Amino acid sequence: MANRTITKMSAKEVAQLLLNGEELFILDVRNETDFADWKIEGRNVEIINIPYFDLIDGVDLALDQIPDDRPVLVVCAKEGSSVFIAEQIAEAGRSNVSYLEGGMKSWSEYLEPVKVADLTGGGELYQFVRIGKGCLSYVVLSEGEGGIIDTSRMIGQYEAFLRVKDAKLVHTIDTHLHADHISGGRALAEKHGATYHLPEKDAEEVTFHYEKLEEGSKITVGSEQIIVHPIYSPGHTIGSTSFIIDNRYLLSGDILFIESIGRPDLAGLAEDWVGDLRETLYKRYKNLSEDLIVLPAHFGKVTELGEKGHVSGRLGDLYKENPGLSITDEGEFRKTVTENLPPQPNMYQEIRQTNLGKINPNEQQQREMEIGPNRCAVHDN
């Protein structure tokens, strides 16, 4: 008798498989365009795409291509189609068939907290990896207080983490006005009576109160020994600000990534901002200690995840290995960051308007606005 049992796999379970480097075979049944734009990726992930409508009358096409000796995860946009196809595959006699609970919607929204370090003042630094979107946010903990940098809109996941850590939220900070995802920083701060910080030059059109980020100011979380030092670093946006934490970690926002650099065109001012970007990367950052560990706000590929599961790189090493940091000719640099850029993020103008407080889309609309990968880097390969 055929085995008709299928199981569900949560986004958390899939993320931990990927972070642990375990093998995973995926059948993605979304349409070819959506699959080509954005998919689950990992070091040991094998994935094929057969659209749902090619399987609705029978799964023989899939049975010919999926392994019979390994678990198979079926993935679709929201869950329903993958459940149906997984059931058909199981009824055909295959065992170890599962589906992604909540589909790619849940994959896009899951945050995996990964500890970066114990800080010298007794606190902790965590990186929240939004593995399905390539977004990175940070939580600083010290003496029962917490601060969050570049908060994603799924604020409940941060709240649950702070409850486990028995920490009170005192600050939320955005390194810049984001264009690829909706910030949860303001909403989280308002809910918990914390202070929301934003660079003033990115906030000229905002409709809400915020605390200005100014170079040389200090934001304390718990012990005074754990201090966030804003470093004004324009380029990706005119107000982009990065931070040094504990004299060891450079939170670079979208200015500098591990394998690329930030794009300057998401406000339509690439030609105006390219000089700022070069000044930041080739002078401001160049004058910092080579031993600083760079912690960016995004990553482009799962291969950027380190052995411990977080994304980081020594600044001195990036100057040797990151192609965006070795363009000696200024004209060539200008051409690189203004021409042949990857597609702009999905609905980025609407996302910017939301982060400015000018529009207030509901939860479902926000989810649809964010679907797809981040595209904040110059080099997309």
Asked if residue 101 belongs to a domain, the reply is: yes
Of 107, 136, 156, the residue at which a domain comes to its end is 107
Asked if 74 and 49 touch (Cβ cutoff 8 Å), the reply is no
* Residue 302: alpha-carbon gap to chain centroid: 11
Of 107, 126, 157, the residue at which a domain comes to its end is 107
Where would I find the H helices in the chain?
Answer: 11-19, 32-37, 60-63, 80-91, 103-109, 155-164, 185-192, 270-279, 315-321, 330-338, 348-355, 363-370
What pLDDT is stored for residue 349 in this prediction?
A: 86
Selected catalytic residue, list 6, 74, 76, 277? 76
What pLDDT is stored for residue 40 in this prediction?
A: 94
- For residue 313, with 0-12 CB atoms within 10 Å meaning exposed, 13-18 middle and 19 or more buried, which class applies? buried
- HSE (CB half, 13 Å, CA atoms) of 237? 25
- Give this prediction's pTM: 0.91
Torsion on CA atoms 350, 38, 264, 149, rounded to nearest 10: 80
The question of whether 76 is a catalytic residue gets the answer: yes
Report residue 86 as tokens. 């997984």
Cα–Cα distance for residue pair 354/184, rounded to 1 Å? 11
Report residue 146 as tokens. 């917490």
Name, in order, each residue with C-beta under 8 angstroms of 301's C-beta and a sequence gap of 6 or more. 41, 259
Q: Which domain holds residue 222?
A: 111-370
Of 86, 107, 128, the residue at which a domain comes to its end is 107
- Residue 128 shares a structural domain with residue 251: yes
- Residue 219 shares a structural domain with residue 311: yes
Per-residue pLDDT of the chain (381 residues; tens, 9 = 90+): 344 689 999 999 999 998 888 899 999 999 999 999 899 988 889 999 999 999 999 999 999 999 988 899 999 999 999 999 999 999 998 989 999 999 999 999 999 999 999 999 899 999 999 998 899 999 999 999 999 999 999 999 999 999 999 999 999 999 999 988 999 999 999 999 999 999 999 999 999 999 999 888 889 998 744 567 788 888 778 889 999 999 999 999 999 999 998 877 555 555 667 888 889 999 999 999 999 999 999 998 877 888 778 899 999 999 999 999 999 898 898 888 877 666 666 678 899 999 999 999 999 999 888 877 766 666 544
When divided into structural domains, the chain yields a total of 2
Asked if residue 379 belongs to a domain, the reply is: no
Torsion on CA atoms 332, 338, 342, 346, rounded to nearest 10: 160
- Residue 197 shares a structural domain with residue 330: yes
- Residue 183 shares a structural domain with residue 198: yes
Asked if residue 376 belongs to a domain, the reply is: no
- Residue 100 shares a structural domain with residue 129: no
